[in-house]
Homo-oligomer: A and B are copies of this chain.
Amino acid sequence: MKNKNRSIAIIEEPMLRESVKLNKALVFEMQKAFTLYSSGRADVPPIMQILSRTNGGQTCVKSAISTELPGYAIKISSNFPGNPAMGVPVGNGLMTLFDTVTGEVDSIFLDNGYLTQLRTAAAGGLVADLLARKNAVNVCILGAGRQAQLQAEVLMLVRDIEHISIWGRDVDKATRLAETLQSELNIECQAVSDLPAAVSRADIVVTTTTSDRPILMKDWLRPGQHITAMGSDSPSKNEVDPGVAFLVDKYFCDSISQCELLGELHHAKTYESECGAIQPEELGNVILNKCPGRTTEEEITFMDLTGIGTQDALIALCAKEKLKRL
């Protein structure tokens, strides 16, 4: 018997943008990513980091495998901060999908990060649906990049949002994004410079920056809010005042062990000896009814998102399905 190698689908970014979109189905698909992880039904190896000695460039490899999914993804993403000066995007990379049964390469997505943006956005939507008050109408987003836009879009899918404030270090960029969202979503969207006031007013606060020092302060928070911090995915990144972890009523992680290494929890934990123990729970366990999510209108809930490999497997499998139907 002559063994034959299977043919590999290679899909480029424009095709992916056309066929895989942010919608409610994708949001709820992410439930599986969190429950597979938190119930121990997926194996997630430590992230591989390839660091350049000279230019701050870093490349990460992430994966996860579960016998309950027909495929596992291996995602390579690079981030080279010096690129824009050379006319090259900061982020590059690709996602590969392998067959769980045979280990064969099934698909290669030359997505330039598009699938990661989508699965991160979808996770943010799921989190808000699970943890924000049902009557949440006012949103404040920190950051004015692509993920800020996607967060605005996804929150519209899960709550009847009426007002979105955008805060960015680059005021022009924040203004442009607010204008774009206003015309796209048909609700009131504005760029804000008074961040403390915008945060205090919001029912849902989302941080989407790459900041390495806190930009969201604990004194700005008020009862009933939900906060999702999604910018930090490395030990040096830190968007949220560590005091927030000790103020909020419930602290959730996608992966506790990963948030301790790469998330806001990483920074907050260094204050535990003076401020008391943080008791994080995983979102997967909320979905599995193993622990409560929000239980009152007054609680402040906090979600620390660092991104897990099961999300990549699921978005890659979704993309494969969509493309099959074309």
Contact = CB atoms under 8 A, between A and B. Distances in A.
A93 interface: yes
A1 B52 CA distance: 26
A54 interface: yes
Nearest to A1: B87
Interface in A102-148: 102-105, 108, 110, 112
Number of copies: 2
A191 to B, nearest CB: 23
Given A8-B110, A63-B61, A93-B105, A52 B3 contact: no
A10 interface: yes
Nearest to A3: B89
Contacts of A1: 87
Contact of A65 (B4, B51, B92): B51
A305 B245 CA distance: 49
Nearest to A55: B101
Contacts of A48: 45-46, 48, 61, 63
Interface string A187-199: 0000000000000
Interface stretch (A25-33, A77-85, A226-234, A279-287): A77-85
B80 A103 contact: yes
Contacts of A80: 101-103
Nearest to A12: B8
Contacts of A13: 5
A59 B110 contact: no
A190 B57 CA distance: 52
A50 B72 contact: yes
Contacts of A52: 65, 67, 100, 103
B74 A59 contact: yes
10 contacts: A3-B87, A5-B112, A45-B50, A52-B103, A58-B103, A61-B74, A76-B96, A76-B105, A92-B104, A94-B105
Interface of A: 1, 3-6, 8, 10, 13, 43, 45-46, 48-55, 57-59, 61, 63, 65, 67, 72, 74, 76, 78-80, 83-84, 86-89, 92-94, 96, 98, 100-105, 108, 110, 112
Lowest 9 CB-CB distances: which A-B pairs, in order? A78-B103, A80-B103, A3-B89, A48-B48, A92-B104, A88-B102, A57-B103, A50-B63, A50-B65
